[in-house]
Amino acid sequence: MPSMIYLLKVEEHDAHATAIAVILPLSLASILIYFTNNYFDWNIVWKVCAGSVLGAGLGARLLPKIPVGILSRIFAVFMIMAGLRMLF
């Protein structure tokens, strides 16, 4: 995302949407590999899928309404939290 914003000069909302769209083909390839190796716990898969669909729908509706400055801060907080989680 930051590279789309700063190097490719893509607007922040468009960069978020594009990054999410790129996840789909990557996820489909991963699903194929994991499915063929029987790595799924279907009880968990259905619960996570339901939450993901609801969260994606809510996020897609909220994204255009969030000002770019606030969106940047939210993204920064999540990135910092993810980095701290990796360290500790």
Q: How far apart are CA 81 and CA 18, in angstroms?
A: 22
Q: How does residue 2 score in pLDDT terms, banded at 50, 70 and 90?
A: confident
pLDDT band at 24 (very low <50, low <70, confident <90, very high): confident
68 in Cβ contact with 5 (< 8 Å): no
Q: Which structure tokens are listed for 65?
A: 């309404």
* Contact status, residue 23 vs residue 30, Cβ threshold 8 Å: no
A 10 A CB-CB count for 9 gives 8
pLDDT digits (tens, 9 = 90+) for 45-86: 899 999 999 998 998 899 889 998 898 899 899 999 999 999
Q: How many C-beta atoms surround the C-beta of residue 32 within 10 A?
A: 10
22 burial level (CB within 10 Å; 0-12, 13-18, 19+): exposed
Supply the pTM of this predicted model: 0.55
